[in-house]
Amino acid sequence: MILILIGLFISFVYSILILPNNEGSEPIINPTIYPFLYKGMIIVPYDKVNAIHFHHWVFYFLILAISFVIYIPKIIIGFSLGLLIQGIIYKDSTNFIIDNPYNKL
């Protein structure tokens, strides 16, 4: 249990130091690598107008789901739980289809 709490604490610190406070804002570390990463967010264009935004909370949800099948260290489970909660708090957490931001480059 202590390792889960440590993971939660690390995710809290990571959220404050790296992730944006508001939806639509850029994270502190924000590289762009076309066509998979746009300003630190996983955004994949599927046509000239639209793109799919893979929110970070989805990946952490998958890690937690997989942890029921295979062994994942408890500190990773705590970290994933913290970032899952942090991600679904954003108002746009369920907006997966967005305007293609690569057209603005």
The pTM of this model reads 0.86
- Convert the pLDDT of each residue in 56-95 to its tens digit: 999 999 999 999 999 999 999 999 999 999 999 988 899 9
- Convert the pLDDT of each residue in 9-18 to its tens digit: 999 999 988 8
Please spell the DSSP secondary structure of the chain, one letter per residue. Answer: -HHHHHHHHHHHHHHHHTS-SSTTPPPSS---BTTTEETTEEEEESSSSEEEEE-HHHHHHHHHHHTTTS---HHHHHHHHHHHHHHHHSTTTT--EEE-GGGG-
What does the pLDDT read at residue 26? 78
The two tokens of residue 96 are 């997966």
What does the pLDDT read at residue 64? 97
What does the pLDDT read at residue 105? 57
Token pair 């369920």 is found at 94
